[in-house]
Amino acid sequence: MSDLRRARFARLVRRALADLPPRFRERMRNVEIIVEDEPDAARLPDGGTLLGLYEGVPLTQRGLDEPYLPDRITIFRRPIESISASPHIQARIVRDTVVHEIAHHFGISDERLHELGLGDED
């Protein structure tokens, strides 16, 4: 059962990525997107829930010639599944979380995401 849930969740993440507008998909550079069951204790905000996490150097802060390790976007399955048992709601949460973390890859701050109504995902 758990393997089926993981596979279904991974499909939700792939679908969210496929649904991004082409102008964003085409501009993503050197970024790895993975799914983990849940964040480790070191990543958890105090008393909070972490649905996704961006780790890396945003595109807006990169120099032209500097080599960078791949950015990493992690989407956490169990916290999202714990919010709702509804597959439709989970799909929306995954989509919103993926968009939120990709926005960080493009250098959009949490403050700006809140202004845009996308600030509650991480």
Quick one: how far is CA 39 from the chain centroid?
13
Tens digit of pLDDT for each residue in 34-91?
999 999 888 776 768 899 999 998 988 887 777 778 999 999 999 999 999 999 999 9
**pLDDT tops 50 at residue 101:** yes
Domain ranges of the chain: 2-115
- 90: Cβ–Cβ under 8 A, 6 or more apart, which residues? 9, 12, 80, 81, 83, 84
Residue 93's pLDDT is 96
Structure tokens at 90: 């989970």
Query: Other CB atoms closer than 10 Å to residue 110's CB: what's the count?
Result: 15
Residue 114 binned pLDDT confidence (cut-offs 50, 70, 90): confident
pTM score of the predicted model: 0.86
The class of domain 2-115 in CATH terms is: alpha beta
